[in-house]
Amino acid sequence: MPIAVRPRRARGCTAALAALTVAGVALTGAPAVAAPEDNGDVKIHEVGTPFTDQRDEPKVCDFYLAAFNFDDSEHFTWTIDGQGNGPNAGTGHLSGTLTADTNGDAHSMPLGLPNGLYKLVWKGTDWQGAGKQKVFTVDCASPKPTPSMPGGGPGGPGGPNGGPPAGGGGLARDAAMGPVAGAAAVGLAAAGGAVWLRLRRRPHGA
């Protein structure tokens, strides 16, 4: 009585096909590696608004930038340029850099620009694309009021963590705020008051 024998080659092909199928399922089921997100938002704050306030103020006079939700110690650049062509167009330009703290927050020194419409653009060092942006208006009354910046000790939440801005058309720091507010902006409000008093008294022999 004849006995049927399955060819070894067929069995080998079947095993190889099964192995490839299992490997394909494994590769398909593997989670995709997500690309790094461009985290971080920057708010426009009127000088005097608390640093922790996450509201945007689309119309300001003297102002500063408050950054939230960046990565720990992330560096990012920012630029402000005038927008529009009519009588309400902004005419100034400012730029600078900031570094987020361990909580992902940062804020700039007080800034000033001529009245008009402006666009803020910010971008992290490792971000892809052109960055994020928003539009706001500078609208200062005449005569211009003297702002007051939220204070804080050296190295604390009252001190900015970016260098002075660069650009043209912006107001000088002394023109943008009074001496006490200027001292608070660099985290030296208490010491600054004593130094200011001493300088005022020196011409009288003190």
User: What pLDDT is stored for residue 129 in this prediction?
Assistant: 85
Q: Which residue has the higher pLDDT, 158 or 108?
A: 108
Q: What is the CATH number of the domain that holds 52?
A: 2.60.40
CB 131 within 8 A of CB 123: yes
Of the listed ranges 18-32, 107-121, 160-174, the least confidently predicted one is: 18-32
Residue 7 pLDDT greater than 90, yes or no: no
Residue 26 pLDDT greater than 90, yes or no: no
> Dihedral of the CA atoms 38, 43, 161, 149 (nearest 10)?
-170
Residue 12 pLDDT greater than 60, yes or no: no
User: What pLDDT is stored for residue 176 in this prediction?
Assistant: 41
Domain count, the chain: 1
Alpha carbon distances (Å) from 21 to 10, 12, 64, 187: 17, 14, 59, 64
Q: Quick check: bond before 143 cis, omega within 30?
A: yes
pTM to 2 decimal places: 0.60
CA distance 155 to 153: 6
Averaged pLDDT score across all residues of the chain: 72
| Domain-embedded: residue 73 | yes
Residue type, 41: D
SS3 sequence of 80-94: EEECCCCCCECCCEE
| Domain-embedded: residue 46 | yes
User: What pLDDT is stored for residue 146 in this prediction?
Assistant: 58
Alpha carbon distances (Å) from 200 to 54, 80, 190, 196: 38, 36, 16, 6
Residue 199 pLDDT greater than 50, yes or no: no
| Domain-embedded: residue 10 | no
Nearest to 80 by CA among 42, 50, 52, 53: 42
Q: How confident is the model at residue 79 (pLDDT cuts 50, 70, 90)?
A: very high
Residue 195 pLDDT greater than 70, yes or no: no
User: What pLDDT is stored for residue 93 in this prediction?
Assistant: 97
Give the number of other CB atoms < 10 A from CB of residue 15.
Answer: 10
The length of the chain is 206
Domain enclosing residue 111, as ranges: 41-201
| Domain-embedded: residue 78 | yes
Residue 183 pLDDT greater than 60, yes or no: no
Task: Give CA 7 to chain center in angstroms.
Answer: 70
> Dihedral of the CA atoms 153, 156, 159, 161 (nearest 10)?
150
User: What pLDDT is stored for residue 168 in this prediction?
Assistant: 56
3-state secondary structure of 1: coil
The secondary structure element, H or E, covering residue 13 is helix 8-29
Q: Read off the pLDDT of each residue in 131-152 and give the average, rounded to a whole number.
A: 77
Residue 76 pLDDT greater than 90, yes or no: yes
Which residues, in sequence order, are bridge partners of residue 94?
80
| Domain-embedded: residue 206 | no
User: What pLDDT is stored for residue 39 in this prediction?
Assistant: 86
DSSP state of 202: G
User: What pLDDT is stored for residue 20 in this prediction?
Assistant: 47
User: What pLDDT is stored for residue 78 in this prediction?
Assistant: 98
Q: Read off the pLDDT of each residue in 70-96 and give the average, rounded to a whole number.
A: 95
> Dihedral of the CA atoms 51, 188, 123, 78 (nearest 10)?
100
Q: Read off the pLDDT of each residue in 179-206 and give the average, rounded to a whole number.
A: 40
| Domain-embedded: residue 21 | no
